[in-house]
A = this chain, B = another copy of it.
């Protein structure tokens, strides 16, 4: 039997984060860690592995996007309403390199009853901006903790 969802928004966000990460095999496969989650916010980290790079030790842009997109997913689902990505834009500012630790910090810019907008900034361990990501979200039926999905 499922426990009741926490009433406190911060506890709820943390419970959502744990539940999502548990079944988020893609983020696990890439070694992402969920460093923090709060209502409308999340922060994740990815170490750039050799198998994420090209022959010049430059990280594949798709995996930088994946880090940002995961962070977006945690941020926009943090209210425990099932939410999907409608569309995203990413602008690449600098290369991510093998061995670097990239951090994606996401925050809600707008959240209406159905649609939302979130900005995610990816930086490396020196604080250099690697990419700027903007995602539009859309709330569907169900909640995260009950495990239902549209």
- Main SS class of interface, A: mixed
Copies, count: 4
Contact status of A54 and B26, CB under 8 A, knowing A85-B61, A87-B91, A92-B84: yes
Q: Kindly identify, within residues 102 to 137 of chain A, every residue whose CB is under 8 Å from any CB belonging to chain B.
A: 109-110, 114-115, 117, 129, 132, 134, 136
Q: Kindly identify, within residues 129 to 149 of chain A, every residue whose CB is under 8 Å from any CB belonging to chain B.
A: 129, 132, 134, 136, 138, 147, 149
| CA distance in complex: A90, B91 (Å) | 12
- Whose C-beta in chain B lies nearest to the C-beta of A90? B88
Q: Kindly identify, within residues 41 to 69 of chain A, every residue whose CB is under 8 Å from any CB belonging to chain B.
A: 50-56, 58-63, 65-69
Interface size on A, residues (CB 8 A): 51
Query: Is the CB–CB distance between A54 and B87 below 8 Å?
Result: no
Query: Is the CB–CB distance between A26 and B55 below 8 Å?
Result: no
Interface residues of A (CB under 8 A from B): 20, 22-29, 50-56, 58-63, 65-70, 73, 84-93, 109-110, 114-115, 117, 129, 132, 134, 136, 138, 147, 149
